[in-house]
Amino acid sequence: MLPPLFLQNISRFKPSYLISFSYLFRDLVFAGMTMAIAYAYIPEVQNALIRYALWMIYGFVEGLFMTGL
Amino acid sequence: MAFSPSTSLNNILGFFLHSFLLTPYFSWQSSHRRHHIYANNLSKDHNYVPPQRSQYSASIFMEINLREDLTEDSPVAIILRILIQQIFGFPWHLATNITASEGSLHKPKSTSVLGNSYFLLHSTLFRPEEAPLILLSDVGLGLVAFGLWYTGAAIGFGTLALLYLQPYMWVNHWIVAITYLHHTHPSLPKFESEAWTFLKGATATMDREFGLVGRYLFHNIIEYHVIHHLFS
C-alpha cells in the first residue's frame, strides 16, 4: 500500500514546461540524429553482411527512441 | 502524467507526434479515456478484455478443454501466438478494436470491414459528436502517409522501409508488449460490472521493471502504470 503523504503529493503533481520540453527535445534529437547518421553512413559500408547487421541494429535502436517519443 | 498544464498544447503536440508514428491521436484519446474510466470492468472496458470461456470456445470452433489438451504450453502454439500478437497486434487493434467488450461500444458491433475501427467517423467506437476529431486524426495519418510516399519516391522505397518501417514495427512491438504486460498477469482480477469499482479496476493493473531503457528512454511508462490509472 502506498503511504498517504506520497499519494497526496502525487495527486497535486504539476507538470513543468521546461522539464517536459527538454525531454521532448532530447528524444527528438536522439531519434533524428540516429536516423540522419544511418541514412548518411550505412549505405556507404561496402561489406554487405556488415551493412545488413548495421541496418538491423539501427532499426532496433531507432525503435526504442521512437517508442520513447 | 500530462506533458504540460495546458491541454491545448498537449493536444497539439500529441497530435503531431502520434500522427508521425501513424497513430490516430484524437481517436486514441477517446477510447483511452473510456478505458481509464472503466478499467478492468468486464462489460465496459476497451482493452484486453478476455472472452468468457464459452465465447472463446465458440470462436475457435473447438471444445475449450480439447484446445487446452492439444496446445496448452506447447512452444509452437505459444511462439506463433506471440509472433502474431507482436507483429500484427497494434494495426489489428486499430482496424478492428479487438479485445474491447461489447458494452464499451456505442452501437451494436459492426460486421463491415472497418466498422469497429479507429478510422471511420461512424465507427462503433465513437459518439456521433466526436466525428470532427476522428476526421482530424485521419487527416494527420493521411498527411504522414503522403509524406512517407513522397520521401519513398525520392530516396527509394527500400531505403524508406529500412529507415522508417523497421523502427515503426519495433514501436508496434513495444506498445503491445508494454500494454499487454500492464493488463495481464496471473494474479490480476478482472471484474464483473456488479463487483467493479474505479479503485478496484485501477489497482488491478501491473507495474513492471524495464531497466535502463524503461527509466531513461521510455519515461517510466512501464514502471508506473498503477499510478497512471489512479490519477488520470
Res B214: pLDDT: 84
Buried/exposed code over B117-155 (b: 16+ C-beta within 10 A; e: otherwise): bbbbeebbbbeeebeebbeebbebbeebeeebeeebeee
* Dihedral sign computed on CA atoms, order B70, B71, B75, B81: positive
The residue type of B208 is R
Res A7: pLDDT: 54
Q: Phi and psi dihedrals of B73, rounded to 5?
A: 65, 10
Res A12: pLDDT: 60
d(CA B230, CA B232): 6
**Structural domain includes residue A15:** no
Q: Which three cell numbers stand for residue A31?
A: 531519434
For residue B20, the enclosing domain spans 7-230
Res A50: pLDDT: 94
**Structural domain includes residue A60:** yes
Tell which wins on pLDDT, A15 or B135: B135
Res B36: pLDDT: 85
pLDDT band at A20 (very low <50, low <70, confident <90, very high): confident
Please enumerate residues of B whose Cβ is less than 8 A from a Cβ of A: 1-5, 13, 17, 20-21, 155, 159, 162-163, 166-171, 173-175, 213, 217-219, 227, 231
Q: How do residues A34-59 score in pLDDT, each as one tens digit?
A: 999 999 999 999 999 999 999 999 99
- Per-residue pLDDT 10s for chain B (232 aa) are 578 888 888 888 888 999 999 999 888 888 888 888 888 888 888 888 887 777 777 777 767 677 777 776 778 888 888 899 998 898 998 988 888 887 788 888 888 888 888 888 888 888 888 889 999 999 999 999 999 999 999 999 999 999 999 999 999 999 999 888 888 888 888 888 888 888 888 888 888 888 888 887 888 888 888 888 877 6
For residue A63, the enclosing domain spans 31-69
Res B115: pLDDT: 82
**Structural domain includes residue B1:** no
Q: Is the pLDDT of residue A5 over 70?
A: no
Tell which wins on pLDDT, A9 or B115: B115
The residue to which cell 527538454 is assigned: A22
**Structural domain includes residue A49:** yes
Best A39, A60, A67 member to test B by mutation, with max B CBs in 10 Å, is: A67
Q: Phi and psi dihedrals of B190, rounded to 5?
A: -115, 145
DSSP 8-class letter at B207: -
Query: What residues contact residue B26 under an 8 Å CB cut-off, 6+ apart?
Result: B11, B15, B130, B133, B134, B136, B137
Res B160: pLDDT: 95
Structural domains in chain A (count): 1
Structural domains in chain B (count): 1
Distance in Å, alpha carbon of A62 to nearest chain B alpha carbon: 5
pTM over 0.80: yes
**Structural domain includes residue A47:** yes
Nearest residue of chain B to residue A65 (CA atoms)? B217
**Structural domain includes residue B127:** yes
Task: State mean pLDDT over A5-16.
Answer: 63
**Structural domain includes residue B2:** no
**Structural domain includes residue A65:** yes
